[in-house]
Structures are given as C-alpha cells and as structure tokens.
Amino acid sequence: MAVLSSSSPPKSKAKAVSSRKVREWFTGYLFILPAFLVIGIFGLFPIAYAVYMSLFRWRVRKGSFIGFDNYQQLLGNPWGALVFLGGLLLILLAHWLWTDAFKVNKSFRIGRLLGAIVLIAAGVFMSLGWTTMLTEGSRDTNDFLNALVRTVFYAFGSIPLQIVFSLLLASLLYQKIRGQELFRMIFFLPYVMPVVATSVVFRSIFSQREESIANQVITALGLPAQRWLFESKPILQVMLGERLTQFNSWLSQIGVSWQLEGLWLGPSLALIVLIFFGIWTYSGYNVVIFLAGLGNIPKQLYEAAEIDGANGVQKFWNITVPLLSPVTFYLTVLGFIGALQAFTQLYVMRQPFARDSIDTASVLIFDTFYKSNNFSLAATQSIVLFVLILAVTLLQNRILGRRVFDA
C-alpha cells in the first residue's frame, strides 16, 4: 500500500503534464494555421501547380498532356540547356579547385592551373549550350534567351553601381555629419514611393520630346538630343554612331573576322534608362542598411588603426570594406533577386518604339500569359526563371559568400 500510494501521484502528474502538453501543441498549431493557410495556398501550392501546368497544352483552358514539349519549345535543344547548366556548375568546381582542393598538400599551383582549365571549360560549355539552344530553337526560344540576356544586362548594370553609390553615401553620412537624419530620409524617399507613380514621372523625364528634362540636360552638355525610352538601338551603337561601321570595316580590313555587333553592343538606351531608374530607386535602401552595418563595426578598430597612423582611405579599405562584406553580400543577393523579378517599372515605361529591347524575363512571362494567352508556356518560362534564380543564388552563396569576412 505504501509503495502504491507513493508511486501513483507522480503517475497522474505525468499524465496531467502530457495532456497539458498536447493542449499546448494544439494551441501552437492553431495559432500558425491562418498564416500557413494563406501562404500555403497563395505561395507554396502555386509552384507545384506551375510545374503541373507546364506539362500540358494550356491556352486559357487546360488542354492535353504533352509532357516536356513546352520545355523543348522554350529551350530549343534540351541537351543545349543541360550543357549550359553544366557550365554554370563547372564554375563552382573551378572555384573549389582554385581555393580548396589542394589546400591539404599546399600545392596551390596545380589547383590554380586546374581551376583555370575548368573555368575555360565552363565558358566553352556555356557558350556551346547557348548557341545550340539558339540555333535549334523556335522563335519562343529566341525570345526567351534574349529576354534572359536583357535581364542579365539589367542586373549587372544596376546592382554594382547601386552598391558603390550607396556605400559611398553611407560611409560619408557616417562621418558624424550634421543633418545625417535628413539626408538618410531623402535618400530613402525613392524606395518608399509607389513605383507606378515614379515610373510615370521617369517616363516624362526621359521622353523623346525635345523639351524633356533629359534632353535639356544633355543638349546643355553639348551632346545631341536622344530618344531615351523610345530608343531600341544598343547603347554602343548610339554612342559611336558612324564610327561603329568604320571600326567594323577596319576590323575586317586587318583580317579580324570578329565584328562589334549584337550582344557586344550592350543593352538598348531604353534599358539603360531603366537601369538608371533601378539605381535611383534602390540605392537609398542600400544606404540605410549600410548605415546600420557601419554602426555595428566596433569603434576600437578605427582607434587602433589611427594609433598605427592609418589615414582615412586606409581605414576605409582595411576595416570598413572587409567588415561590411556580409552586408554587401546580402544586398547583392537581394539586388539580384529583385532585378530578376523587376516588372512594374519596365511595364509602365515600355514604349512601343523601344520594341522588345526592354522586355526582361518577367515582362516576357507576363506578355506570354496576358497577351498571347499561352498559359502553359508562361508557366514553363517562370519555372525556368525560378531554377535560374536558385542557381545564381547558390553560386553567389558559394563563391561570394565564401569571400565574406566573418567576424
């Protein structure tokens, strides 16, 4: 009896605890349910459904199951696409060979050599895959691949400059400047404003009319007026004009078969205006984050450097830049994701005269869906874009992320 009575109370207590635990679990699930329902239905499920759609013929209404035909139509030769993707992954391998593979036996030279070889191979693979897709592909392939190139132009045109400008402005603002708050507020302003409205304003500033602000500024500088958002010609062609044909004929005269043409002429002037818009909009956001990052750098580091006689520029390159590298990395990744998805500003500023010269991937997807009503091809395009975004993020994580200084 004594044994029983002493052992039974803990038992019931344990039971009470476990039923309370279950109730606790239940409350937890109940609390997260509404949010997960919404995110699940409108955020996660659509990915699976987009994959499902891409396997059908689907123009407004669902048609017959066609397997991977949409991918075939989009990428031309699937082997070309695979070779291209393999090239992207080879960059990873090259990076690994270059830095890590021969760390153990310290024969860096072999690693570097192999890395360089693999990097060249990656380039060959990528261009080979690309041309295979282009030559064997349909018009859809052509449109999509060109849209991807424009997207890359847009991303590489806007992000590095954004980072440089905002780092410059943030580190100047951080010098205990009077009116720091005011400046920060002004720089951040473009980011908060509705993109539709600011795009309408830019549309007017960069219109082809002679009296537009952009043309007034450029003629005041003694340069000819431009067609800006209406200009479908690539930037180098606009800048060089007649000299471009002269240069190309000179090239063929000296026996070079390569010509400065196509992609080498860069994005259209219209896309340059959009890159400028991107820099204008997102630099302020970067400034705010850089300022927060600067605030996290311990003051003692600067004081120690001053005792050692470092000047402002040395402090900037040897303390600020390396310690801010995680922030820079974060902003670069964020910038890429944003640039690959940019839509509203491109859509609003698009002029028929610029033809398809500013149609990046997301604009093309919208057109395929909304104008051509080819739902399944649009879904296929969006999935390929998604895979590319993931691949680029992975590459950045592995290569840029490794260079980040971890304090």
Partner 1 sequence: MLNTQKTEPQVKTAKAFKEAYEFKWFHLIIYFILLVGAFMSIMPFFYMVSTSLMTLGETINRQFLPKIPQWQNYAEAWTEAAFSRYFLNTVIITSLTIIGLLCTSILAAYAFANIQFPGRESLFMILLATMMIPGTVTFIPNFLMIRGEIIPWGSWMNTLQALTIPFIAKAFAIFLLRQFFKGIPKELWDAAQIDGAGHLRFLMAVVIPMSRPVILTVTLFTFVDAWNEFIWPLLVTTTSTWRPLGVGLWSFVTEAGPQTHWLMAGSVIVILPVLLVYFITQKYFTEGIATSGLKG
Query: What residues numbered 213-272 form the site for partner 1, per CB under 8 A?
Result: 213, 216
Least CB distance to partner 1 at residue 35 (A): 4
Nearest by Cα to 229 from 366, 352, 340:
352
Q: How many residues bind partner 1 (CB under 8 A)?
A: 90
Write out the binding residues for partner 1, residues 152-181 only, by CB under 8 A.
165, 168-169, 172-173, 175, 177
Structure tokens at 169: 């402005």
Distance CA 190, CA 198 (A): 8
Task: Tokens 């004594």: give the residue.
Answer: 2
Comparing CB distances to partner 1, the nearer of 31 and 317 is: 31
For position 200 contacting partner 1 by CB under 8 A, the verdict is yes
| Region near partner 1 per CB under 8 A, out of 33-41, 140-148, 220-228, 267-275 | 33-41
Q: At what angle do helices 375-403 and 45-53 cross, to 10 degrees?
A: 130
Comparing CB distances to partner 1, the nearer of 180 and 232 is: 180
Write out the binding residues for partner 1, residues 337-366 only, by CB under 8 A.
337, 340-341, 343-344, 347-348, 361-362, 365-366
For position 71 contacting partner 1 by CB under 8 A, the verdict is no
Comparing CB distances to partner 1, the nearer of 96 and 174 is: 174
8 Å CB contact between 326 and 292: no
Task: Tokens 């409205």: give the residue.
Answer: 197
Residue 322: CB atoms within 10 Å: 15
For position 53 contacting partner 1 by CB under 8 A, the verdict is yes
Per-residue x/- mask for partner 1, residues 100 to 139, rule CB under 8 A? Answer: ----------------------------------------
| Region near partner 1 per CB under 8 A, out of 105-113, 190-198, 242-250, 298-306 | 190-198
Q: Is 137 exposed, middle or buried, given 0-12, 13-18 or 19+ CB atoms closer than 10 A?
A: buried
Comparing CB distances to partner 1, the nearer of 260 and 394 is: 394
Structure tokens at 352: 């028929």
Task: Report the SS3 class of residue 260.
Answer: coil
Q: Which amino acid is at 24?
A: E
Nearest by Cα to 50 from 339, 378, 388, 291:
378
Distance CA 44, CA 35 (A): 12
Task: Tokens 């391998």: give the residue.
Answer: 93
Q: Which of 71, 96, 108, 183 binds partner 1 (CB under 8 A)?
A: 183
Write out the binding residues for partner 1, residues 362-391 only, by CB under 8 A.
362, 365-366, 369-370, 375, 378-379, 382-383, 385-386, 389-390
Q: Which of 198, 226, 325, 332 binds partner 1 (CB under 8 A)?
A: 198
Q: Which amino acid is at 20?
A: R
